[in-house]
Amino acid sequence: MNTTCSPSTCTPATSGVTESLRKPIYNVNGNADAYEVRVELPGVPKSSVKLDIEENILTVRGERSSTVPEGMKALHRELSPLSYLLRLRLNTPVNEDQMTAKLEDGVLTLRLPLKEVAKPRQIPVL
């Protein structure tokens, strides 16, 4: 699903996720310096997380696999393989070189610093 974000709002847009993909649960917070995006990706290892920004659209992809340990056979399965896809349209340009991402306890935390030109500035009146 596409979502449009600004420092004060984040609203769903149309198109994006097909029925074969799941949109993860997420929060977007922001201030005058940065966005913080927290995305739940339970069971997804760091090696399966892919992040891209192109034309102010952040794309988060992740895949959870379901394997049976060697020497065993599956007797009951509820944890099936699953793919996640989240697309966020960022209304304010971010500084891609200073972005950070951390995956801990199934939660991906992204810090997206805003570009200097995008930060609000106060203009003194002379």
Q: What is the pLDDT of residue 7?
A: 47
Residue 126 falls inside a structural domain: no
Residue 20 confidence class, pLDDT cut points 50, 70, 90: low
**Residue 3: closest CA among 85, 78, 65, 82:** 85
* Contact between residue 65 and residue 81 where contact means Cβ atoms under 8 Å apart: yes
User: pLDDT for 60-100, tens place per residue?
Assistant: 999 998 888 899 988 888 878 899 999 999 988 899 999 99
* Contact between residue 1 and residue 87 where contact means Cβ atoms under 8 Å apart: yes
Work out the average pLDDT over 32-37. Answer: 94
Residue 124 falls inside a structural domain: no
Q: Is the dihedral of CA 35, 40, 41, 42 positive or negative?
A: positive
Q: What is the pLDDT of residue 18?
A: 42
Q: What is the pLDDT of residue 119?
A: 63
Three-state SS for 96?
Answer: helix
Range of the domain at 49: 2-67+78-117
- In the chain, the number of structural domains is 1
CATH number for the domain harbouring residue 55: 2.60.40.790
Burial (CB count <10 Å: 0-12, 13-18, 19+), residue 62: buried
